[in-house]
Chain A
Amino acid sequence: MSTLHTVNKSPFTHGTLASCLSICAQNDGILLLEDGVFGAMATAPCADKLTELIESGVKVYALSNDIKARGLQEKLLNNILLTDYTGFVQLSIDHRCVQSWY
């Protein structure tokens, strides 16, 4: 069964996203939210690893409300999927468990 990982910390100051990526399985999903959305930037410290995971099939989402709130719309890595709170609910249903990285 797969896990949805939520990350709410900026990778510019925290190791939270890196830890999440280190144990994320191929059929897992990742949702970046709150300050976690800074991890969706093309210039983020984990961008290479994130790209690698996306290419291997991991779906990486960012909460669009948090992206827009912070003005990051034009600064995102390719292939980051945007979602909203209803999408977040659906992602938590599509995966068996949710691990919250904070």
Chain B
Amino acid sequence: MIFSLAVYSAPHSSQASDTAYRFAEALLAEGHSLYRVFFYQDGVHNSSNLLTIAQDEADIPSRWQHLSNTHQVDLVVCIAAALKRGILNQEEADRYEKPAHNLRQGFALSGLGQLVDAALASDRLITFGS
């Protein structure tokens, strides 16, 4: 079965992105496929490479990145939601003349159409709200 996940909560502020990650791990372990994880609202914070996590705490963004590396999961961050929350890739930082960019490797900025596409291409779309 083909799944997509919609993640709307920031890591380390509420539990939902951790739940989403564990759900993703479980569905892959069961042999299902994960078409896309779409990060929207405060969920865009999962894609920052500046999050600095204490050693004894779960590093959720790097877990997502690991998932992308090992299972080729498409990690898409809503570009409009990301820009207004200070998540930029190099291209957007250049475009808006910002001093830095912080999108973690493995994540891509794109439009809300990618959420729609995930809803249309997947058998199940599961929302993880904050």
Contact = CB atoms under 8 A, between A and B. Distances in A.
Q: Do A and B bind each other?
A: yes
Contacts of B19: 8, 33-34
Interface residues of B, number: 22
A89 B27 contact: yes
B16 A102 contact: yes
Interface stretch (B45-53, B82-90, B122-130): B122-130
Given A85-B23, A88-B23, A8 B129 contact: yes
Chain A interface size, as a band, is 10 to 19
A100 interface: yes
A35 B129 CA distance: 12
A35 B16 CA distance: 10
B126 A98 contact: yes
A98 B19 CA distance: 15
B1 A93 contact: yes
A51 interface: no
B26 A86 contact: yes
Please report whether the interface of chain B is mostly helix, strand, loop or mixed according to DSSP: mixed
Contacts of A102: 8, 16, 127, 129-130
Given A86-B30, A93-B1, A34 B16 contact: yes
Nearest to A69: B15
Nearest to B123: A93
B126 A100 contact: yes
Nearest to A4: B126
Interface string A64-97: 0100000000000000000011101110110001
B32 A89 contact: yes
B42 to A, nearest CB: 12
B33 to A, nearest CB: 12
A88 B127 CA distance: 13
B74 interface: no
Interface of A: 8, 33-35, 65, 84-86, 88-90, 92-93, 97-98, 100, 102
Given A100-B128, A102-B8, 5 more contacts: A34-B19, A84-B26, A89-B32, A92-B3, A102-B16
